[in-house]
Amino acid sequence: MKLAVATRNPGKLREIESIFRDTPIRLVSLAELGVEAKPEEEKLEGYPSFARNALAKAQYFHDRTGLAMMAEDSGIRVDALGGEPGPRSKRYAPPEMQAGYGVDRANNLHLLRQLRDVPDDQRTAHFYCAVAVVLEDESRVFGGRVDGVILQEPQGEGGFGYDPLFYLPDRGCTSAELTVEEKNQISHRGRAMRAARDWLLEVLNRETRAVRDE
């Protein structure tokens, strides 16, 4: 089975590929398919929920390519900020900050500024990921969540996004200090992707049985 992945983020793609390793599902990226970026893609994540954003992206790229498509939308919700930035996680910092510092660093700096007066015991947060899969005749959305705490300053060199600020009490480190394998075992994206993978394997088995029965 060929499954296209609707992301242009190489960090996310590496994590996803490791989850689908040793399966009969072959992942292909938008870059491999030669799918050029269009300005309209920026409007695909305009919904107030991760699930709707993920499904919108998967459906859009499925329509453009005609291939089975998987897309995800993920972000961080901070309790002290009323659940912000949520689905706006990627575009949380002002555009001028992102232009000056780069997206990830700007978002982390902006989050720290918003939390500068919040004490450590009130900096709880969680990552959430919605994964949507659109096939020719059906679609599904899967979710995954992991809880943690926002640190006062970044810690760790790995990962991407808010990983350097997201501390995992049970692990005693941030998401940025985990290996890819460790992160996939416990992360919001890993949990949602594994659920999507398991469902796709069921679909493949169902199709295989149908062929044998004919």
Residue 161, phi-psi category: left (phi > 0), alpha (psi -120 to 50), beta (remainder): left
CB 20 within 8 A of CB 42: no
Buried b (16+ CB within 10 A) or exposed e, 103-121: bbebbbebbeebbeeeeee
Q: State yes or no: is 73 an active-site residue.
A: yes
Q: Which of 22, 63, 73, 104 is catalytic?
A: 73
Q: How many CA atoms lie within 13 A of 72 on its CB side?
A: 28
CB atoms within 10 A of CB 5: 23
Catalytic machinery residues: 73
